[in-house]
Structure 1
Amino acid sequence: MAHGSDGRSLEFKLPDLGEGLTEAEIVRWMVEVGDVVVVDQPVVEVETAKAMVEVPCPYGGVVTARFGEEGSELPVGAPLLTVAVGEGAAGLPARDSRTGGEAVDPARAEGPVRAEGPVRAEESEAGQAKAGQTKAGGSGNVLVGYGTSEAPARRRRVRPDRQTATAAATGQVNGRARTADPVDGPVPVISPLVRRLARQNDLDLRELTGSGPEGLILRADVEYALRAAAAHGGRTAVREGQADTTEAPASVSSTARSGGVRVPLKGVRGAVADKLSRSRREIPDATCWVDADATELMRARTAMNAAGGPKISLVALLARICTAALARFPELNSTVDTEAREVVRFDHVHLGFAAQTDRGLVVPVVRDAHARDAEALTAEFARLTEAARAGRLTPGELTGGTFTLNNYGVFGVDGSTPIINHPEAAMLGVGRIVPKPWVHDGELAVRQVVQLSLTFDHRVCDGGTAGGFLRYVADCVEQPAVLLRTL
């Protein structure tokens, strides 16, 4: 992870972040060259295929060099920064990275010492550009606004102004030539993917007007600009030191011919693609489904919430039903060890649930869901969902699931045949609950109906077991009192 250099300068390398991750993308530097850091202080925020992670430094001293720009990818084991410690930090001009003011020398020694390790020119320029900005706290996570001093607590989604984005790409606003004002420091964008997409298509982000809050540049802004440039057959932007030309870059031209924009499958999106592809290759899945009358379940939830105390969510009740069903049909709470040719059944339920975020689809995991009641499940679902949307989920919170609950009804659809979350063996899908005609007590009535689906690995069980599991879930939805037998 790190090594010493003559006892005065230590090199801190990108550590192994676990779960088989081999690389990470630098999202935000939390210290600059010359900052004083303490042991275990977060120094950089990186994005892996699993989550956003703040990386703490194991040394205390003065930062003498940083390696890698925001938006660049580094492999595990690559140098992140060097820190002068002990007597080696004595003569360095330093400032406290947490306050921005002059810091007391951590070594309290005398005599100037040359800082070891190269300081890149671009890092010095970045430090100068950020000199007047208020530095973010060492423990917070920031997903947007890399070049801004502050980020609002919540980012609302704003529909991009197509006219502004198109005009920015073609260099005109309301029929007149547009001259972009010079911007110092990094341009605020919604995510590193937006910055990379612009870089790959030779698009200067300084020429765009962001449609997000506080001028934040969204992915839609970049895509509108690229489409406008393709339509006009010209360059989308002029890089510093280059002459303007009417010829489009090769990358933009190729996307124009194909009628789309190329987006790299990296980060969360790439990890999801790999897992889904592997699931399709390795798991012989099958799906069964059933319609259920959810009227009594909805009434039971209303009665629970009317009794006072924390509100119970619908997904928590469905999770409680899942754990009860898995206790009866443990074959579905398992995985297949292909090398040993064995089915491994778990004696615990780590329940994953699909959550859609701005960074893509993620599946947080509720540990020991079988041991939690509806109130505890509600609280844990809320905590993990908030963390997912903020990008604060740890790799441990995104792995280790044994069964997944997929509530695709939130998207306004009735049914689905989802892909199993490898290496699990099954997934329960829940559609929207809507009023429909239903025969109740021998008479036609309007009831709250939901479609339930179960996609399962046919290697772990046959249709009889899968059908029994789904039927039990439907019975609990229609008659919640059935759950009393397992409480």
Structure 2
Amino acid sequence: MPEVKEFRLPDLGEGLTEAEIVRWLVEVGEVVAVDQPVVEVETAKAMVEVPCPYGGVVTARFGAEGTELPVGAPLLTVAVGASPVDASASTGEEPEASGNVLVGYGTGAPAARRRRVRRPGVGASPTPDGAVGSADGSAAAGGPAVPDGPEAGGHRRARSYGPGAAAAEGVAGAGGEFVGRGAAPGVAAGGSRLSGSTGPVPVVSPLVRKMAREHGVDLRELTGTGRDGLILRADVERAVRAAADAAAAPPAPAAATAVPAGEGAERIPLRGLRGAVAEKLGRSRREIPDATCWVDADATELLAARRAMNAGGGPKVSLLALLARICTAALARYPDLNSTVDTEAREIVRLPGVHLGFAAQTERGLVVPVVRDAHLRNAAGLSAEIARLTEAARSGTLTPADLTGGTFTLNNYGVFGVDGSTPIINHPEAAMLGVGRIAPKPWVHQGELAVRHVVQLSFTFDHRVCDGGTAGGFLRYVADCVEQPAVLLRSL
């Protein structure tokens, strides 16, 4: 008999706790191989494909496209050994799982095997996507047991000791949320204590429990519209709307100043990448007392230097790479700007290396890939790495590690055809250099009026880290290097 394995949304790293299903890559009944990508999800950091650590036949999928799932929630179930997915099946052996617990990386060792355990009296019912889940919303009841180690999707096994410990055994999910095989009396499988009678509540998924907690909905007061009384997401949403309607009162006079949404208004959820950007920028504005200074610089000589570099053959050096090299040289002179503020310890933490972030526009919005150890790279090396990260950003293949850990950001908003800007610091960094478009303008050069290629440079800095003198010195040095690239020779 084939053994049904459950694959849960694995830990995606970098503190990510949820992801949105963008596109299923497999169908129910389809044969999958070990480590084959089965679903494409969008996290707050990037779009990634999730590989399944089991080989066999897909028996169920949990969640439709567009559904947001927490880490540890069931993704799909696979009947291992139900179809010859590799050579081992022809010998009667069961295909081994890879133990994959992190997107893009396999452990290389099979996970420990556990026998399936069925609890008497607990039936199974289908989810809206055709998946089969347990009546209390946990996939373990009436299905495969949740194993220790990698088979649990990268989550640790949680056990309660003392009275009722056997009923409360399960898996600790994201943020310590309890997703168990049943629950102790009066406690839901999601870990929230419920009023009224004891016993499990028939809920379709952890997402439904999360919604109920966030909106203060008592699941025991709901009548599920799913099969066998299963509580669906629509049931919770209906209860939330009913509560909002009941609490609605005639508008107060002050409400007349509010801007109504109006008919036909479109609401766009702030989640995924856009939500992460909104949260980070909002936090930057709340926490960082920033200030901005700017200067116009004659970039004619910098453009000439780039043409001379590229005329010699070999890989081309981009203008952004030259500006990045100027930034690393300036940060070597003004190391206070390559730092972060530890607010709890009331300390400025000066960082040893420069991990340079740069803004890249993609179809999914603006992202900031990070060039690691930029201070150790020359212009050619910076150009190659920037090109690699830009291509990965446009194709949606950046990893969470590619988007985190920056210490300073270079924002080339000139590509949008604008001259200047006052950028928001990329929290928790201390500064950002903005570069406007390079355009021909009248300029006094060597005492005479001439047409030169001029660029506006803006510099936004955390005023807790330095004063205007340090910021002005940094920006002036950058401008001098733009106007006279030979200044860089001193630091090469």
Q: Per the shorter chain, which TM-score range? A: 0.5 to 0.7
Question: In the alignment, which residue of structure 2 is the partner of 1:106?
Answer: 89
Q: Provide the rounded CA distance (Å) in 2 between the counterparts of 1:65 and 1:266.
A: 26
User: What is the Cα deviation at residue 349 of structure 1?
Assistant: 0.7
Question: In the alignment, which residue of structure 2 is the partner of 1:449?
Answer: 454
Q: Provide the rounded CA distance (Å) in 2 between the counterparts of 1:329 and 1:107.
A: 66
Equivalent in 333, 336, 355 of residue 338 of structure 2: 333
1:21-170 pair list within 5 angstroms: 21-85=16-80, 89=81, 92=82, 94=83, 106=89, 108-109=91-92, 120=127, 122-123=129-130
What secondary structure does 2:262 align onto?
Answer: helix
Rate the CA distance shift 1:459–1:256 in 2: closer, same or farther, 3 A.
closer
- Of stretches 385-394 and 456-465 in structure 1, the one that deviates more from structure 2 is 385-394
Which residue identity is paired with 2:285? R
Which residue identity is paired with 1:77? G
- Is 1:381 the counterpart of 2:389? The answer is no
Q: Provide the rounded CA distance (Å) in 2 between the counterparts of 1:121 and 1:24.
A: 19
User: What is the Cα deviation at residue 41 of structure 1?
Assistant: 2.2
**C-alpha offsets along residues 372-428 of structure 1, whole Å, 9 cap, x if unaligned?**
111121111111111111211111111100000000111111110000000000000
- Of stretches 369-378 and 271-280 in structure 1, the one that deviates more from structure 2 is 369-378
Q: Provide the rounded CA distance (Å) in 2 between the counterparts of 1:419 and 1:289.
A: 14
Rate the CA distance shift 1:425–1:121 in 2: closer, same or farther, 3 A.
closer
Question: In the alignment, which residue of structure 2 is the partner of 1:274?
Answer: 279
Question: In the alignment, which residue of structure 1 is the partner of 2:489?
Answer: 484
CA contact (8 A) 2:360 2:367 kept: yes
User: What is the Cα deviation at residue 364 of structure 1?
Assistant: 0.7
Question: In the alignment, which residue of structure 1 is the partner of 2:444?
Answer: 439
User: What is the Cα deviation at residue 104 of structure 1?
Assistant: 7.1
CA contact (8 A) 1:69 1:123 kept: no
**C-alpha offsets along residues 462-481 of structure 1, whole Å, 9 cap, x if unaligned?**
11110110000000000000
Question: In the alignment, which residue of structure 1 is the partner of 2:4?
Answer: 9
User: What is the Cα deviation at residue 61 of structure 1?
Assistant: 2.8
Q: Provide the rounded CA distance (Å) in 2 between the counterparts of 1:351 and 1:446.
A: 33
What secondary structure does 1:393 align onto?
Answer: coil
User: What is the Cα deviation at residue 108 of structure 1?
Assistant: 4.4
Q: Provide the rounded CA distance (Å) in 1 between the counterparts of 2:409 and 2:270.
A: 24
- Of stretches 377-386 and 280-289 in structure 1, the one that deviates more from structure 2 is 377-386
CA contact (8 A) 1:65 1:118 kept: no
Q: Provide the rounded CA distance (Å) in 1 between the counterparts of 2:266 and 2:260.
A: 5
What secondary structure does 1:448 align onto?
Answer: strand
Equivalent in 418, 426, 434 of residue 431 of structure 2: 426
Rate the CA distance shift 1:54–1:255 in 2: closer, same or farther, 3 A.
farther
Q: Provide the rounded CA distance (Å) in 1 between the counterparts of 2:265 and 2:292.
A: 33
Question: In the alignment, which residue of structure 2 is the partner of 1:367?
Answer: 372
Question: In the alignment, which residue of structure 2 is the partner of 1:405?
Answer: 410
User: What is the Cα deviation at residue 40 of structure 1?
Assistant: 2.2
Question: In the alignment, which residue of structure 2 is the partner of 1:394?
Answer: 399
1:279-294 pair list within 5 angstroms: 279-294=284-299
**C-alpha offsets along residues 158-180 of structure 1, whole Å, 9 cap, x if unaligned?**
xxxxxxxxxxxxxxxxxxxxxxx
CA contact (8 A) 2:306 2:317 kept: yes
Q: Provide the rounded CA distance (Å) in 1 between the counterparts of 2:372 and 2:411.
A: 16
Question: In the alignment, which residue of structure 2 is the partner of 1:225?
Answer: none
- Of stretches 26-35 and 446-455 in structure 1, the one that deviates more from structure 2 is 26-35
CA contact (8 A) 2:61 2:129 kept: no
CA contact (8 A) 1:324 1:486 kept: yes
CA contact (8 A) 1:294 1:433 kept: yes
User: What is the Cα deviation at residue 311 of structure 1?
Assistant: 1.0
Rate the CA distance shift 1:400–1:269 in 2: closer, same or farther, 3 A.
same
What secondary structure does 1:419 align onto?
Answer: coil
User: What is the Cα deviation at residue 260 of structure 1?
Assistant: 3.4
Which residue identity is paired with 1:106? A
User: What is the Cα deviation at residue 32 of structure 1?
Assistant: 2.2
Question: In the alignment, which residue of structure 2 is the partner of 1:297?
Answer: 302
User: What is the Cα deviation at residue 121 of structure 1?
Assistant: 6.4
Rate the CA distance shift 1:423–1:123 in 2: closer, same or farther, 3 A.
same
Rate the CA distance shift 1:298–1:30 in 2: closer, same or farther, 3 A.
same
What secondary structure does 1:106 align onto?
Answer: helix
- Is 1:348 the counterpart of 2:353? The answer is yes
Count of residues paired in the alignment: 341
User: What is the Cα deviation at residue 259 of structure 1?
Assistant: 6.5
CA contact (8 A) 1:353 1:404 kept: yes
Which residue identity is paired with 2:14? E
What secondary structure does 2:441 align onto?
Answer: strand
Alignment gaps of 5+ in structure 1: 1-5, 97-102, 125-249
Rate the CA distance shift 1:121–1:453 in 2: closer, same or farther, 3 A.
closer
User: What is the Cα deviation at residue 338 of structure 1?
Assistant: 0.7
CA contact (8 A) 2:84 2:90 kept: no
Question: In the alignment, which residue of structure 1 is the partner of 2:146?
Answer: none
Question: In the alignment, which residue of structure 2 is the partner of 1:242?
Answer: none
TM-score, scaled to structure 1:
0.66
**C-alpha offsets along residues 94-139 of structure 1, whole Å, 9 cap, x if unaligned?**
486xxxxxx87837449xxx9x986656449xxxxxxxxxxxxxxx
- Is 1:467 the counterpart of 2:472? The answer is yes
User: What is the Cα deviation at residue 73 of structure 1?
Assistant: 1.1
User: What is the Cα deviation at residue 84 of structure 1?
Assistant: 2.4
User: What is the Cα deviation at residue 7 of structure 1?
Assistant: 9.3
What secondary structure does 2:345 align onto?
Answer: coil
**C-alpha offsets along residues 353-387 of structure 1, whole Å, 9 cap, x if unaligned?**
11122211111111111111111211111111111
Q: Provide the rounded CA distance (Å) in 2 between the counterparts of 1:121 and 1:415.
A: 51
What secondary structure does 1:470 align onto?
Answer: helix
CA contact (8 A) 2:63 2:129 kept: no
What secondary structure does 1:9 align onto?
Answer: strand
Question: In the alignment, which residue of structure 1 is the partner of 2:253?
Answer: none
What secondary structure does 2:51 align onto?
Answer: strand
